[in-house]
Amino acid sequence: MIESSGGRLPRWLPELSVAAALAVLPFVFARWLGSVDLFTRILIWGIFGLGFDLLFGFTGLLSFGQAAFYGTGGFVTGYLLTSGTLENVWLAMAIGIAAAMIFSVFVGVLALRRVGIYFAMITLAFGELSYFLENSPLAKFTGGENGMPGVPAPVFRLGRIEMSFAGSWPSYELVAAFFFAGFVLARFVVRSPVGAVLTAIRQNPERTAALGHDVRAYKLAVFVLAAGFAGCAGALLGIFQSYMPPGAFALDTSGQLVIQTIIGGAGTLVGSAVGAAVWLILRDVLQQVPGIGDLWKFILGLVFVVLVTLVPDGIVGTLARSHLRLGRGQRPRDIADSEAAGREALLAPFSAGVRPPAAGMPALEARHVTKSYGGIHAVAGVSLALPAGRFHAIIGPNGAGKSTFLRLLAREERADSGVIILNGKDIGAADATAAYQDGMAKSYQINQLFPQLTTRQNLRIGALGRHRGRLRLDVFRSADGFAEVEEIVAALLEELGLLACADLPVNTLAYGEKRRLELGLALASRPSVLLLDEPLAGLSPNEREGVKQLIRHLGKGRTIVLVEHDLDAVFQLAEQITVLHEGRKLAEGTASEISNDPLVREAYLGGAATP
């Protein structure tokens, strides 16, 4: 992804460059490549690709069925105009785009139930479904295999001025205007908190959900947005050609879109248009070369395979990588001088929207929670009640069910039976996203980070989750434009000792730093209940001390459940300890009660009674 913020490049440089290209390139095409029409065609693919890139390049959802929405937009617009239902071309286009988006809601709800390979297959199948529907049952509306001739061009009226967009240059102007508007919109989305969440989803969907973002809803939103772009491109195709070809719905259309986006560079927005230029120009040029004219598509296939294998960033992505140093110098923020007390207040448990438990009621309570896998009772009827502010540890030998129990508390898995109550509210039916929104966060035994985002961006994803709620489509805000979120992130960076690597991608961090960031992600929502799954795992003795200090310091005022194998640390930190053994609660008490309990000794030492 090309990031041009950071003070090195003007914020609007991409928009200005695209505007300049749209002003100059048509003359290049008209002079050397026959006609401006070729460039118009490239831009129509480019508009189609802007949406697809948001879906694939940014969110990581590879759809092979975009033709369904391209065709829907084109044919609905075309039908309204050629059947005489509507005369206003703009209105017909709007309805065509809306139809494509409505269709995509239906497809998206089904296809987004699955990820990866399945998602690609299901979208492809729906693309084919719409091709067959267009071709036979709906042929009386669409013209079937003959397509739909006579789609009119729009007319722009303003007072006395009247301007028709029919003909080569006027239709170029129309398409270029749409491309520019689409590009600006897509840039807004990319820079917005929505764009930040979409990028997070591509890198780690599970953690994004655990940080309070409704992953399914965001995916559906970007899927529908991509369909809107596709519908717009389809409608423009019909208008530009005065004819809507039946092949708009074909698998080839979806495939060509995918290929062009990869060649140009996914995640660059303009990559799709660049790829379309490569495809269409190569086709025109190769077809005129005697002897290999018939092989043009084979050569394009070969180029595509070579590019996917050797240059996965595509043309634009590779150029951007070599010319813009992506590890950019961030504008310095004045955090170092913020007072420690101020930071503490910033990071204190956030209580808006969370009803505090009634006096004497536990902050977190589990009643007879049970979970089995096949015949194995991982957690068998465990109960636990933690008053607000309690630091509670769960220990037990390997396989005792500690981590499973923590997963059940965090709602990552559903218990077979039992009740879980958070701040007086039964969260048995809630998912991890809802649990986070209710003020409970978890740090994981194995780091669950966003490896290609910077440390700051990682923490921002966590803080935004609580700040913006499960889903908000604030595409015209900037992701770093929430003052309070930025303050929290800055305070966390300072507290975690990660200021030096604040603007480095996380995959370049050392293990100890990642471990602290993992803890920081859970704290970014300022939770009132914190679940820690082996926060000390894999750390050196020195790093352990540091993390213990952090937990003690940042855990102040929170209810904490700690699962940890380092018993010395547990005895130092925890006020109350529960011992699990084979899924059951074996003992509960203070550190000294537990360390003197004969049952516990037996469980740990396998019956050896001597200490």
Helix or strand (DSSP H, E) at 239 = helix 215-241
- From residue 147, alpha-carbon distances to 131, 143, 178, 212, 448 in Å are 12, 5, 24, 47, 50
Asked if 280 interacts with another protein (CB under 8 A), we say no
Asked if 294 interacts with another protein (CB under 8 A), we say yes
Q: Which of 34, 312, 327, 481 lies at the binding interface for another protein (CB under 8 A)?
A: 312
- From residue 610, alpha-carbon distances to 326, 598, 601 in Å are 60, 10, 9
In the complex, least distance from residue 78 CB atom to another protein, rounded to whole angstroms: 21
H-state helical runs in 288-338:
296-310, 314-323
Token pair, residue 283, equals 């086709």
| φ/ψ of residue 336, rounded to 5 | -55, -30
Is the CB of residue 532 less than 8 Å from the CB of residue 560? Answer: yes
The DSSP letter of residue 349 is P
Token pair, residue 242, equals 């005065």
Asked if 262 interacts with another protein (CB under 8 A), we say yes
Cβ-based nearer residue to another protein, 133 or 281: 133
In the complex, least distance from residue 513 CB atom to another protein, rounded to whole angstroms: 26
Asked if 311 interacts with another protein (CB under 8 A), we say no
Is the CB of residue 235 less than 8 Å from the CB of residue 97? Answer: yes
- Within 10 angstroms of residue 466's Cβ, the number of other Cβ atoms is 23
Is the CB of residue 406 less than 8 Å from the CB of residue 563? Answer: yes
**Strands lying side by side in the sheet with 391-395:** 440-443, 529-533, 559-563, 391-395, 576-581, 584-589
CA atoms of 235 and 336, how far apart (whole Å) = 54
Asked if 259 interacts with another protein (CB under 8 A), we say yes
Give 563's strand partners. 394, 533
Cβ-based nearer residue to another protein, 144 or 170: 144
Pairing of strands 425-426, 440-443: unpaired
Asked if 137 interacts with another protein (CB under 8 A), we say yes
Among residue numbers 396 through 435, which ones bind another protein (CB under 8 A)? none
Cβ-based nearer residue to another protein, 58 or 304: 304
Cβ-based nearer residue to another protein, 29 or 52: 52
Residues in contact with another protein, counted by CB under 8 A, come to a total of 40
In the complex, least distance from residue 541 CB atom to another protein, rounded to whole angstroms: 31
Asked if 132 interacts with another protein (CB under 8 A), we say yes
Give 529's strand partners. 440, 559
* Contact window for another protein (CB under 8 A) among 31-39, 60-68, 157-165, 427-435: 60-68
In the complex, least distance from residue 29 CB atom to another protein, rounded to whole angstroms: 26
DSSP string spanning 466-490? Answer: HHH-S----TTS-TT--HHHHHHHH
Q: Which of 80, 101, 185, 300 lies at the binding interface for another protein (CB under 8 A)?
A: 300
Cβ-based nearer residue to another protein, 36 or 262: 262
Q: Which of 125, 184, 419, 471 lies at the binding interface for another protein (CB under 8 A)?
A: 125
Cβ-based nearer residue to another protein, 110 or 326: 110
Is the CB of residue 491 less than 8 Å from the CB of residue 346? Answer: yes
* Contact window for another protein (CB under 8 A) among 25-33, 125-133, 159-167, 507-515: 125-133
CA atoms of 320 and 270, how far apart (whole Å) = 12
Q: Strand, helix or coil at 79?
A: helix
Among residue numbers 440 through 499, which ones bind another protein (CB under 8 A)? none
Cβ-based nearer residue to another protein, 128 or 564: 128
Cβ-based nearer residue to another protein, 122 or 430: 122
CA 432 to chain centre: 16
Cβ-based nearer residue to another protein, 129 or 591: 129
Asked if 129 interacts with another protein (CB under 8 A), we say yes
* Contact window for another protein (CB under 8 A) among 120-128, 429-437, 575-583, 587-595: 120-128
In the complex, least distance from residue 308 CB atom to another protein, rounded to whole angstroms: 5
CA atoms of 460 and 82, how far apart (whole Å) = 50
In the complex, least distance from residue 125 CB atom to another protein, rounded to whole angstroms: 6
Pairing of strands 529-533, 440-443: parallel
Residue positions counted in the chain: 611
* Contact window for another protein (CB under 8 A) among 97-105, 297-305, 465-473, 602-610: 297-305
Per-position x/- string for 2-41, each x denoting binding to another protein as judged by CB under 8 A, each - no binding: ----------------------------------------
Asked if 282 interacts with another protein (CB under 8 A), we say no
Q: Which of 50, 258, 488, 506 lies at the binding interface for another protein (CB under 8 A)?
A: 258
In the complex, least distance from residue 36 CB atom to another protein, rounded to whole angstroms: 29
> Which residue, 76, 207, 87, 57, is CA-closest to 138?
76
List interacting residues with another protein (CB under 8 A).
56, 60, 62, 64, 110, 113-118, 120-122, 124-126, 128-129, 132-133, 136-137, 251, 255, 258-259, 262, 294-295, 297-298, 300-302, 304-305, 308-309, 312
